[in-house]
Amino acid sequence: MPLSGREREIANLVASGLTNRQIAERLVVSVRTVEGHLYLVFKQLGINERERLIRLMRNADPDTPANGGKTPGSQPESAAGRPLTTSRFRVARDGKIAGP
């Protein structure tokens, strides 16, 4: 996968079931920074759903813990709890990226 070290780290944390807020707290960065990294990860991998990222990361790393499918509270979120908005694209609560 064409990901930087930080992007891979965040993608693995998503695959382990953490929310954007939990990832931000663990890495001592803002939620917005996590959202930005995830936006780039989605774009680079050609995906638009968080669940797809989780499946890809689990296939890439068999040691990533599985938690039975859907991850509660794992939708992309802004610091204010609103859908993530980045540039001209919007990541909805269901994890799908909508373009112009």
Q: What percent of the chain has pLDDT over 90?
A: 50
pLDDT value at 81 more than 60:
no
Q: How many structural domains is the chain composed of?
A: 1
CATH label of the domain that carries residue 48: 1.10.10.10
Indicate the pLDDT class of residue 90, thresholds 50, 70 and 90. low
Give the range among 3-12, 58-67, 77-86 with minimum mean pLDDT: 77-86
Most distant CA atoms of the chain, gap in Å: 38
What's phi and psi for 26, nearest 5 deg? Answer: -65, -40
Q: Look at residue 79 in the predicted model and tell me its pLDDT.
A: 44
Q: What is the pTM of this model?
A: 0.59
What single DSSP character describes residue 29? S
DSSP output for 47-77: ---HHHHHHHHHHH-TTSPP-SS--TT-S--
- For residue 32, give its domain range: 5-98
Distance CA 65, CA 67 (A): 6
